[in-house]
Chain A
Amino acid sequence: MHVIVCVKQIPDPALPGELDPSTNTLKREGKLILDESDSYGVEMALQLVSTAGDGEVSLVSMAPNDEVSGLRTALAMGAAKAVLVSDPSLAGADALTTAKVLAAATKKLGDADLIIAGTESSDGYTGTVPEQMAEVLGLPSVTFAKTVEVADGTLKVDRQTEEGYDEVTCPLPAVVSVTAGVVEPRYPSFKGIMSAKKKPVETVTAADLGVESVSWAQQIVSVEDAPAREAGEIIEDDGESFNKIVEFLDELKVI
């Protein structure tokens, strides 16, 4: 079983985000790490291949530079190889372009039984790329999967809904987006980290993949500060501050 996982390398979310003043797009230079949202997909893929008994996990990623540290993390977890689409012309690309590029990149890795992605990235969170990839590739898809099983060539998914979850079946090959928390991502072992350094990462451009027109029909016109919410009264608990809460709730007539 061949599972391809789409992973994104993002600026460390623990650091405050910054916009490039000339383009108003998110600054992505500097160190990039594996988006935590994608670590669930990598873990899920490794478990599915392990259950199937044969096959491997491959990765596709797209970056405006040749950053690979996030990919190495996923390789250290157990993925076998990766294709990185590294192309400065893709800086600030929209979700549709990203989906076209990643779809083309999956073809570089050969036929996949399953393509897994996170539901949305932690930095841009457009949340449309997995379903767009499925349409580009002409595949069925199940989004917001909280459990994923493969049996007899069929995918069985519990899909998150507003009120609970749906059981969904889907023929393979297919695209699935997985929610955070779906599995517990493993920590890379020392051996994994060492061997990841030797695993193949093929770097290509959009043109190498035959994706010709990299332009997108949206433009940021301005960025403004949101109306600030004033901070109110902040008090140190002295053992009696619960009275303050009760009084406040009383004032608001919700008791």
Chain B
Amino acid sequence: MGIDNIWVFAQAADGAPTTGTLELLTKARSLGSNVSVFIAGDGAVEASALGDHGAAKVYATGDLGGALPGVAISSSMQAVIDGGDTPDLIMFPQSYEGRDVMSRLSVKLDRTVLTNSTEVSVDGDSVTVQTPIFGGTKLVNSTFTGAAPYLAAFRPKSFVAEGGAGAAGEVVSAPVSDLGSTGGATVTAVHVEETSGPKLDEAAVVVSGGRGLGESEKFEMIENLAKLLNGAPGASRAIVDAGWVPYSYQVGQTGKVVKPTVYIAAGISGATQHMVGMKGAKNIIAINKDQEAPIFGIADLGIVGDVHKVLPQVIAALESR
């Protein structure tokens, strides 16, 4: 008994497993000795990186033919469980795909789900996950009380990815059976938004703007400052919802989780939704005209002032160097 057989839902982009996948694998191998992943495609290219991070077995579902992964991958997982490989814990990244696969599987297996977690621990047969609430000011510890497998999703950057675990994982075919109309959602075209500079969730410097900018045109200041610092521009949910910038800029609960060396929050009050996504930054600079803004509670340097005055001054000072 104990928690030994652990599965990770793996995602890949451009032939390499995502950082989030490798983070989960690193944690999984510290919890159990028998770690497997599920991945869309044939798994051949990714198997060595997955093995290096702890996956002894790579269940490959084959090409999904444009089907959304939720129904397809959960069906493949269920078939493998029915075939006799019974996991104790299945870890999912808190991503669009991770949530969909986990949701479908939870119904198929009639198991509860715990999401948005940032830590997991095992004690005998018991699994406890930790989830930040109220903007990360409180941490809730929850256990699963029913039968395994336990299903849990983890936020990006909850764990640190480390390789050196072993050889390439053994690729095992885990094909998706006919899904009928339930699997009818099909991707017909893929659009990638053009971005230049470092990726938001990998940049050493992130400069984010919020409603305090006043109007969408003013976001240009954020972009200029980010560019000068070789950083990435980000945004609060308020201005994403208002349509000023695309969703891919959003930092927070429902957006990206960032942990840069420096996070500059301009005209952002610090709603719970936002703070959850950036309070892991090593240094935080906040500019806001409201001195009561919650963002000042976590800022290393806070300027109570008008972003329309301060930001152009910072930009000019950097440009003149």
A residues touching B (Cβ–Cβ < 8 Å)? 16-17, 19, 24, 94-96, 99, 119-120, 125-132, 134-136, 138-144, 146, 159-171, 174, 179-181, 216-226, 228-229, 231-237, 239, 241-246, 248-249, 252, 254-255
Contacts and interface: CB of A to CB of B under 8 A. Distances in A.
Given A94-B112, A96-B106, 14 more contacts: A96-B113, A129-B103, A140-B184, A162-B96, A164-B190, A164-B193, A219-B145, A221-B141, A232-B299, A232-B302, A235-B303, A239-B309, A241-B305, A246-B317
Contact of B304 (A135, A144, A159, A236): A236
Nearest to B189: A167
A218 B112 contact: yes
A132 B107 contact: yes
B179 to A, nearest CB: 9
Given A131-B99, A181-B243, A232-B299, A254 B314 contact: no
B108 interface: yes
A248 B279 CA distance: 18
Contacts of A168: 68, 185-188
Nearest to A140: B184
- The size bracket of the interface on B is 35 or more
Interface stretch (B38-46, B54-62, B132-140, B166-174): B132-140
Contacts of B243: 181
A92 to B, nearest CB: 12
Contacts of A254: 204-205, 229-231, 261-262
Contact of B71 (A94, A140, A235): A140
B24 to A, nearest CB: 16
B140 A223 contact: yes
A144 B103 CA distance: 14
B95 A162 contact: yes
Interface stretch (B1-9, B215-223, B246-254): B246-254
The residue among B107, B229, B305, B317 with the most chain A CB atoms within 10 A of its own CB is: B107
B300 A233 contact: yes
Contacts of B104: 131-132, 134-135
Contact of A138 (B139, B182, B306): B182
B114 interface: yes
B301 interface: yes
B30 interface: no
A99 B141 CA distance: 23
B177 interface: no
B214 interface: no
Nearest to B128: A221
B187 A167 contact: yes
Contacts of A170: 184-186
Interface in B271-306: 279, 283-285, 287, 291, 296-306
Contacts of A16: 134
Contact of A126 (B113, B248, B261): B113
Contact of B262 (A99, A163, A167, A249): A249
Nearest to B275: A229
Given A236-B304, A252-B283, A246 B314 contact: yes
Contacts of A126: 113, 115-116
Nearest to A97: B112
Given A135-B103, A143-B100, A235 B185 contact: no
B262 to A, nearest CB: 5
A236 B304 CA distance: 5
Contacts of B229: 249, 254-255
A165 B191 contact: yes
A132 to B, nearest CB: 5
B27 interface: no
20 contacts: A16-B134, A95-B106, A119-B254, A132-B104, A141-B68, A161-B190, A162-B95, A181-B240, A218-B112, A218-B114, A218-B142, A232-B302, A233-B301, A245-B303, A245-B314, A246-B317, A246-B318, A254-B204, A255-B318, A255-B321
B96 A160 contact: yes
Interface in B64-110: 68, 70-71, 74, 95-96, 99-100, 102-104, 106-108, 110
B259 interface: no
A212 to B, nearest CB: 13
A249 to B, nearest CB: 7
A253 B56 CA distance: 41
Contacts of B306: 237
A235 B188 contact: no
A239 B242 CA distance: 30
A140 B185 contact: yes
Contact of A96 (B111, B138, B296): B111
A94 B113 contact: yes
B314 A242 contact: yes
Nearest to B114: A218
B109 to A, nearest CB: 10
